[in-house]
């Protein structure tokens, strides 16, 4: 890390930007600003402090483990850590043990990132993406239920029958616009439309096609969730949109080369993600765990793996998003 | 697809026959007849219409994705689609959104089939088999609980304690014969003995050893489930037999070359499938989801993977059941 | 198996010793003694008889399957079988069907061991370890709930909310010492401090570094579980310690070459295992299943897989713990 561009500070900022597949320090600054804005609006700063702590610990762990230098510099070991750092304070009450849990969780997310690279990425070209965050988040929040020293606040076990009913209601235009941006903000677990707008701006700073895919993914998810009559409270919080946003970006722009066929494929993947979001909501309710970005992760794994079966679709662009040196 | 034998119609019929590992258009006709007979007997045609729709959409998706031509012609991209098309109307009430869900689900089953081929088949020689149907079926039925536009009718969440009691009762001979055939019919989710007999005839049309394995698998499952005192209501519907039937065929005839040792190995696998069927019934009850053919899929994956450890067992026959071009 | 050292009796004893990664017949004798002592203290011999039966059936199955001779001689096909043989009588009431279930389960554990070797070990260098036991144990105990012929006694489905509360209490010194040894005994499902001490002696007989790692792992787990205020009843039975003991040995000594960095890595892994133990307790409660050594298995898989990313850590020592011939 001799280059001044590659100092620890910039590497961490790139790590933040990689949550949306970008490798751009300015985008990272905007993403952290979006988290800070939501903290400011809510008057609670634990998520912002957690984000910074998780980002630093995850990146440091990668350095100490002696993993591939190029991957570290690209920020590929930071983005799962920042998500762990935002997620744990969202679901666990603030306390000294919470910060200990974030440190352990962020370090674990780096170990799992390296494992994903050495297994599914190496053998099958499937990027680990935010899978390590999802697994870490589930393990840590579930552990918090069993530990007296960690208090779960943000969620609770529900009966599966709570989901048996849905209702038909179409939100007003201002509501629809707010949902459009919350769908993007919720990738960072932020139910805040302004934060979502800042994040979308951050994506456009780094890549216009990626920004466009994010916007279209949010729109498709919005329409699909309302037509299928998903729980209006969840829809209005952006909870049916954040995974589809990531799917639209990943399948439509980031991991496959955009073409007419790929756009249709990404549209199918985006709709499938809305269905899988609904599945996860039902299946995880009895466990009292949020689904995090798992619906995106499962969809993306399933839709990216068969790329060798799709000879006409070039997919070189995936290379730079994979961990190197394995 | 220049050959007249390989027109879309024949390819779809072969896809239907592949549910039982066959590649025979006439067998496919008999299987669809069996589904139609059960629809006729029940006076509800949604499963037959769903079967045809799922079969066509799954096969078309494979063509559009540009997957391997030889695999498509063999029907290897159709059998998961037909199962999705039968399963969704069995568990979700008929409505326009149901047909939309079948289209999305059938297309998804093809994507997952391609993913299985590119991962576990390519690396480990494990056929995807009906795994893509199981995963798709679980995701779609679970999503239906969360969507107001899809009404789940065929199942519901149960308390795990509902399974704590079993009772001892040996069915009468006519009941035993009906169960013998229902064990085969339930592979297509048909609790109808006549449909089971038509299906068994369809298997014998294509392969006598396969038909014999199916019959023996049904018998072993019947004896084992009754001896272990499984829930009599489930046993009498054939629900403890359909996965073992597939296991007996897959392990005893289709994926390994039959020999005395392989027959013992297949017998162990068939008994294990009855145990795993019981496990899944218990483990999935709180989720309100059927186990579909998951007990077969897990057993088969576990018993086929170690084939390199079993040098004396030739296993060339597996090749033609694997997807090509990967 | 011409060599007198390699007679079936010695091979089985080595299989027992492999539960703690050792390959030493004397260690195997001590381990079986520890199980017998706990049976004697409890006045119930089913676990000891089950252990011997499971060990023999699993090893015989490997011989009949024609798996790699060297692996069989090392005892690598026995240790999952002995654990199945101890676990099933712990959770299922004694009856003729129990012994049938142990035979089927032990044979299945060998099939899964071969599958793990042919998949995750071959592709990624991840040892199957006690993963096959965990999967077999879950399937068999879950099946027992559904079978009238098998009565589950040792566990029951709990509400997830039972785990919402923890309390702060530090055990007395004699209690702490008893927990220290029970943490080791519970690897064989023995809540007996004397048995734990015999097992620890058996490990030291075969390897001092391994014995030291086991002792340190027990200590770290003890401190961590108490600080996080885990359920005191579980902690005092050694249920928060047995998986971390295995993790400390596996990551610190057995699968990586010990160094300062590896010790820190093993410390992180051991703490993570305590968290994952807590997670599993919560997540499996609604299913009425014990977590067995699953927290160790998951942690070990995650921490061993990325070894290629850790160039400075030699890891030759893993070779002799992997199954050969694949």
Residue entry with tokens 């499963």:
B47
Contact criterion met (CB < 8 Å) for A305 and B119: yes
Q: B touches which chains (3+ CB pairs under 8 A)?
A: A, C
Q: Is B99 helix (H, G, I), strand (E, B) or coil?
A: helix
What average pLDDT does this structure show over C90-117? 97
What average pLDDT does this structure show over B6-33? 96
What is the pTM for the complete model shown?
0.93
The lowest-confidence range among A197-206, B24-33, B88-97, C278-287 is: C278-287
pLDDT per 10-residue tile (average), chain A, 326 residues: 75 97 97 97 95 98 90 94 97 96 98 95 94 98 95 65 55 95 97 97 97 98 96 94 98 94 96 97 90 97 82 45 49
Q: A touches which chains (3+ CB pairs under 8 A)?
A: B, C
Determine which helix (DSSP H) or strand (DSSP E) holds C88, and give its type and residue range: helix C79-91
Contact yes or no for B192/B185 (Cβ under 8 A): yes
pLDDT grade for C159, boundaries at 50, 70 and 90: low
What average pLDDT does this structure show over B297-308? 91
CA C106 and chain centroid, separation:
15
Contact yes or no for A195/A325 (Cβ under 8 A): no
pLDDT tens, residue by residue, B148-203: 999 998 655 555 444 444 555 788 999 999 999 999 999 999 999 999 999 999 99
Spatial distance between the Cα atoms of B242 and C238, rounded to a whole number of angstroms? 42
Nearest-Cα distance to chain A for B45, in Å, is 24
Nearest CA in chain B to C115: B306
Task: Please list every residue in chain B whose beta carbon sits closer than 8 Å to the beta carbon of residue A163.
Answer: 145-146
The confidence score (pLDDT) of residue B310 equals: 58
Contact criterion met (CB < 8 Å) for C278 and A111: no
pLDDT tens, residue by residue, C286-304: 888 999 999 999 999 999 9
Contact criterion met (CB < 8 Å) for C104 and B163: no
Contact criterion met (CB < 8 Å) for A104 and C275: yes
Q: How confident is the prediction for chain B on average, in pLDDT?
A: 90
Contact criterion met (CB < 8 Å) for A281 and B66: no
pLDDT tens, residue by residue, C76-88: 999 999 999 999 9
Backbone angles phi, psi at B125, to 5 degrees: 70, 20
The confidence score (pLDDT) of residue C2 equals: 47
The confidence score (pLDDT) of residue C167 equals: 56
Contact criterion met (CB < 8 Å) for C279 and A146: yes
Nearest CA in chain C to A97: C228
Residue entry with tokens 């096969």:
B59
Select from A3, A31, A4, A18 the least CA-distant residue to A74: A18
Spatial distance between the Cα atoms of B14 and B128, rounded to a whole number of angstroms? 17
Contact criterion met (CB < 8 Å) for A149 and C166: yes
**Looking at the predicted structure, is the pLDDT value of residue B292 above 90?**
yes
ipTM exceeding the 0.95 mark: no
Choose from A160, A235, A306, A311 for mutation: most chain B CBs within 10 A: A306
Nearest-Cα distance to chain A for C89, in Å, is 27
Nearest CA in chain C to A151: C164
Contact criterion met (CB < 8 Å) for C118 and B282: no
**Looking at the predicted structure, is the pLDDT value of residue B228 above 90?**
yes
Rg (CA), chain A: 18
Task: Please list every residue in chain B whose beta carbon sits closer than 8 Å to the beta carbon of residue A159.
Answer: 157
- Concatenated DSSP letters for C241-279? THHHHHHHHIIIIISS---HHHHHHHHHHHHHHHHHHHH
Select from B252, B222, B304, B210 the least CA-distant residue to B20: B210
Burial of C7 (0-12, 13-18, 19+ CB in 10 A): exposed
Query: Alpha helices, DSSP H only, in C167-304?
Result: 173-185, 193-206, 208-227, 232-236, 242-249, 260-284, 294-304
Contact criterion met (CB < 8 Å) for B272 and C104: yes
Task: Tell me which residues of chain A have a C-beta less than 8 Å from any C-beta of chain C.
Answer: 64-68, 97, 101, 104, 107-108, 111-112, 114-115, 117-119, 122-123, 138-140, 142-143, 145-150, 152, 157, 286-288, 325-326
Q: Which two tokens stand for residue B147?
A: 């969507």
pLDDT tens, residue by residue, C213-247: 999 999 999 999 999 999 999 999 999 999 999 99
Q: Which of B118, B149, B326 faces A229 most closely, judged by CB atoms?
A: B149
The lowest-confidence range among B126-140, C117-131, C143-157 is: C143-157
Contact yes or no for A156/A288 (Cβ under 8 A): yes
Nearest-Cα distance to chain A for C173, in Å, is 22
pLDDT tens, residue by residue, C310-321: 544 434 444 555
Spatial distance between the Cα atoms of A262 and B61, rounded to a whole number of angstroms? 13
Backbone angles phi, psi at A310, to 5 degrees: -120, 65
Contact criterion met (CB < 8 Å) for C145 and B168: no
Q: Which of B163, B227, B313 faces C146 most closely, judged by CB atoms?
A: B163
Q: Is B228 helix (H, G, I), strand (E, B) or coil?
A: coil
Rounded to 10 degrees, the C-alpha dihedral C105/C107/C113/C116 comes to -80
């Amino acid at each position: 890390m001799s280059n001044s561009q590659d100092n620890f500070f910039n590497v961490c900022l790139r790590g933040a930007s990689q949550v949306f597949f970008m490798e751009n320090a300015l985008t990272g600054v905007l993403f952290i600003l979006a988290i800070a804005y939501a903290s400011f609006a809510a008057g609670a700063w634990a998520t912002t402090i957690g984000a910074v702590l998780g980002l630093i610990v995850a990146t440091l762990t990668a350095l100490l483990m002696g993993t591939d230098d190029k991957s570290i510099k690209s920020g590929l070991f930071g983005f799962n850590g920042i998500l762990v750092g935002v997620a744990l304070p969202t679901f666990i009450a603030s306390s000294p043990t919470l910060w200990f849990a974030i440190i352990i969780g962020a370090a674990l997310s780096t170990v799992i990132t390296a494992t994903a690279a050495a297994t599914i990425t190496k053998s099958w070209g499937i990027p680990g993406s935010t899978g390590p965050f999802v697994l870490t988040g589930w393990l840590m929040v579930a552990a918090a239920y069993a530990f007296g020293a960690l208090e779960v606040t943000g969620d609770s076990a529900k009966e599966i029958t709570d989901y048996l009913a849905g209702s038909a209601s179409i939100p007003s235009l201002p509501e629809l616009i707010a949902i459009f941006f919350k769908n993007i903000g919720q990738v960072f677990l932020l139910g805040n439309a302004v934060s979502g707008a800042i994040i979308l701006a951050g994506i456009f700073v780094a890549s216009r096609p990626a920004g466009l895919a994010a916007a279209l993914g949010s729109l498709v998810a919005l329409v699909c969730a309302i037509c299928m009559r998903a729980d209006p409270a969840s829809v209005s919080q952006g909870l049916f949109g954040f995974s589809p946003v990531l799917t639209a970006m990943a399948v439509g722009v980031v991991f496959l080369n955009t073409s007419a066929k790929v756009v249709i494929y990404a549209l199918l993947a985006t709709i499938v993600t809305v269905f899988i979001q609904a599945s996860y909501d039902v299946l995880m309710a009895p466990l009292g765990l949020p689904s995090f970005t798992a619906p995106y992760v499962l969809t993306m794994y399933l839709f990216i793996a068969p790329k060798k079966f799709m000879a006409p679709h070039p997919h070189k662009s995936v290379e730079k998003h994979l961990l190197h040196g394995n």
